[in-house]
Structure 1
């Protein structure tokens, strides 16, 4: 097998192994399709190289073939004559990519199995495979292809709730090592057939290290070094790369937090445990005592994550919104509350914080609402930060008797009654045990479950529990450690409600906040909260509160059991006023200070700020960093030149000055020869310099020649004046374009990069020899006797 074919196959294998990390993100047959397409593209590349096609042509043909294959697989109906991708193909491809990005922004991993998502995943993997093939085979730089594998790994690692299993790190690493090994074997094969082991030591030491063993040790050391150094050099990634693009970077005052449409639950937990407690919003009006401000509802639970179920396109806001889903009473008799909301610039979200159920809102043009959940969300990807709006909401106050008499015969949708097949039997048994006294009444069951979480079950509120809300985490929370925060309490009650036949979902939003002067409520980031919403026919979605009083002081007043169950001591609402002189309407839960969060009073209140604090400083820092990176070649050359001229006279100093003249010539575009003698190079310099510098050029060249070859030469010979004169003359007569290039990106700088690579290789050689010596001394081998 030829070397390029071996590397091509290894590149294909590395791509397939690397794409395994995407399996927790995408679903469906995307992996098999990607492997097949990459195999075809690899085969085309090997065939063209065997036909000795010019290297530049090969990736172009591969790209054309990839476009044709993607079109045949996914966009066949748009192709002209059924075989040629046409304008309609490009338009349809773009449309599907837009749909895929919208789904990625709306749903958390794992994403649903849709055709546009499959096309997106296959395209990403196939293009990555093509780039790996170009880098490893065409450019012969297999080591750099590891960056592409790293990107494929880091994105799902930072996106999937709870992180990726550590075992998924192994396939990309194995693929990368195989690719490096194939390239190393190909490079060794150019020297001919290996006769025996490779011995690097002098003949007196019978130490031999096989080529395969050397390659393995070098690759292993390199991989270990990269694994140890790369995390320290790269900035830490947020827990939701795709969705948290709205969040900006860094932390600290003025940065705030965000809620993405990808995984709102994950973002809420991150903001509670790690984020700054800055102001999220302020509002005025509404019911006395404040109002929960909901962002969205998570209604799809697959056993791993709670996320937003697939929804139709939102409806335009042209007037009053749809009536509350499931409510069959007379809405004209229900009290409506008006509110004015001012969202801080620190809170970035595509969802609009509103009370439930919403009746009307002043946001119109770029906003839509979902009729089934009454969420208000951006229609074009914009965020709510810095917006002000007015709204009205229904003040629904169902009574315990109404909820007790409600009979739910069916789920309002296809998601909120679904119980994952992976639900453990012990959770089902515990739910039946808790709800047994309700004698089959759904409302009484819900109250018993709520009370079990708040007072009877022995639960403790703490944000230290970061295990998430997947099935295994819920089982551990419900039956073992019983320690968590609102994520675990809300999802735990929602799952138990479904087990007893009550449709449920999880609301994400904010607690009412802190009352201030003139009836203005201030809501901070640490007021973020999750709660279960249970569906009762004729009444609709009703909020419950299982989170203990360490976080939420009381439960809604409608969650008092109609039977007056004496085992429910914490269901009675508190009537303690929120602030001196004010009253608290029953049913509004006021948050207490969370001992696991930073001091609420010490958090800064972020205003609108100025240009510098609102992003200008980050722009300046980015520009400064870019200029600093671009100046590295110039800085290296300047420091090197300064060091060479500051050395005291001697052989080392003279060689440094000769190297400086060489580097200056290369920087200015002159063809300096490495194989010429100093005398020949001096003659060449004379031909390039004006007449008044010929003497200095000859003296410099003869001085180098004498120091290298002549005996009795003064070792303290000072050639700095001659070198400075030659360099100045070379610089003076160069064109302006060459001078600017020599300043900004001197070509000689690349020589130092190659030298650094060579020195790194020498270090690997020394390491390899050390291992070989140790092996020989610890495990001596017997040599056969010869007669």
Structure 2
């Protein structure tokens, strides 16, 4: 192709562009931005140790970026790979002793790091924020923030796209914010705004932008301060959900069964309470679950508005004993204030912090707290079997009888087990003995595998018959409801172990049991879990009923003793109930899968980082085409930039030393453009020269046709590879901009 348009006489050729000036400040700004955005980590990890580890990782990434800034011809992707390699060497030196020369990750060191990562996932899965600064957690925080810094640097400096860098920066803020139990302090909003503002300076990082950038950052920080101090709304797990079913109920953020299983699964039990003043072992109740949902299981619901737990509250008119209890907290932090029996008075609490909902038996607060010590005057009911069998009267709220969607097979099993039981108490005893009696086919085991059938409750009752307290309590409560006995599930702790003058209660004592309602008596404890470790508490009325059954006679009131049926050998076939649309729906007892939660956050973040170059390329292309179509100053340069970028993505870059005409000849030759495409290239080059040297700019839509023709011709002759689509070379390399330097061209 021959380009004949003469150059203006006033200049023969502008000097070649020496390349971009070093920008050593930009990597530093990226690193500082990540640390500022990571402020919420302090709310989910105990102590300041994480900041030192993470600071070292972020600093290392910044140092590599500063060194690379003085060698601008190094591709941005190569810089990122060096940063990742340096980060891997750093965590090898910090967290394992098996590295080659301390910093080179051999097979043994990689195995250690993999074990740390798996351990961190397990601790996140069962822990409650803030978690301890264990080596596993410190490794996860260090590696995550280091990789996020690499991603931020790649987007903000390598691709000159600070807006895209906001995606990984958001992960540094949003992930710990989502895991935090407490509302985040106001300053985390301000530091996050400051960090993002610094990113706006990172692409150029020169002093000319500092005044404008400082004004923008200061404005964002002030706005964040105002929002943070006015609302303090950040954080998700520390509040009751305002939604619900229209009756004022809503799910609480923390799953009580998840916390229960996590405590029981701890390899090293953690002390929680020291209890003084109990004459005999008692269950320590934290909360009760009354809402059973088919296909979901037992759900924690919003308690009533409640009153001050200080009391005094009325003492039930049933047999029992009083106990003045002192509970010293040595490691418990949650929404709930655990209480014994029926509280009459509670003392020693922080003012206006807890409320007590008498119907549910729950004392709670809006956010997790760690109450140091509290006292309680507790009434510990001990009704006789006569009173329980004779109980008649008003029933509690309908929610305690709901069995909507329960599989008919569960009802049939419950009816078979309780056949011949004349009273609600005898039915409750029959079901308890079904799980715990000498002829029971059920076994307690924490290593229970998730069920494989379509109905977890039916499978537990007929096939598995192995579980831990969650399965047993959940199953018995549902079965009680199917035979007409109001029931709920209680979650808390067994009695613990005697140590000197107190009982030590820890995570290994976490437990769930059943409470059945008897009119005139109230909620009464039954425990269907066949424990074999000595933690079982047997209430007096259960002992009395078992004695009556062992003697082979009726109870004191003349009612027959509770039977102890054998477990059925096969489940009855399911039957459809046309009156209940969900009759065949699953009603599973929740079973924890043990899967770590961190992939839910890390993998999407990595995916977003991986797609960032392609997104940046698409946005740049759209912006250039729009500017070219609009006409006016800059339109010709934008059109040329897009053509050169198209060529660079197909591994035909334009050297910085080429003039625009030399670059045009290169494009025609390398892409084998036909006559029509050559004419289109000539039109764009002519527009560039007229714009640069004649102050004549293209009219709107003047370049739309030529640019489309050239783009189509290049795309037809050189299709993009998958690698070029995901990692466009025009985004990941630095070079001069021909729209600014007329003698040179580059993508």
Q: TM-score, normalised by structure 1?
A: 0.42
Q: TM-score, normalised by structure 2?
A: 0.44
Richer in helix (by share) = 1
Higher relative contact order (CA 8 A, sep 6+): 2
